[in-house]
A = this chain, B = another copy of it.
């Protein structure tokens, strides 16, 4: 049950919820997530580190960038994220994030500045 409450603790932070909903849709690198969410790089990185340490996401380097992806082994976790996505119209900020992540590469370029 600890893992389950840990998962809920993860979701109880707005930034982490946004990250997980984004990764539910697409593998993304740190600076894309910063661009999409408008949050600072250390903030995103720290939350990703926590998610990684807890085993909910995995990372992979591709050239200069480190891409993150969901790593949810148990169905319950996926099912819970799915429920949120099913009701995405109730959560405009999440919906907007998802829209933006369709053009994530845009934020990759913006990163080089």
Contacts and interface: CB of A to CB of B under 8 A. Distances in A.
Contacts of A91: 1, 4
A98 to B, nearest CB: 13
Interface residues of A, number: 25
Copies in the complex: 2
A74 B9 CA distance: 20
Contacts of A4: 17, 84, 90-91
Contacts of A1: 14, 17, 91, 93-94
A8 interface: yes
Contacts of A75: 87
Interface string A65-88: 000000000111001100110110
16 contacts: A1-B14, A1-B93, A1-B94, A4-B17, A5-B11, A5-B13, A5-B14, A6-B12, A8-B11, A9-B9, A9-B12, A12-B12, A74-B87, A76-B84, A76-B87, A79-B83
A44 B19 CA distance: 33
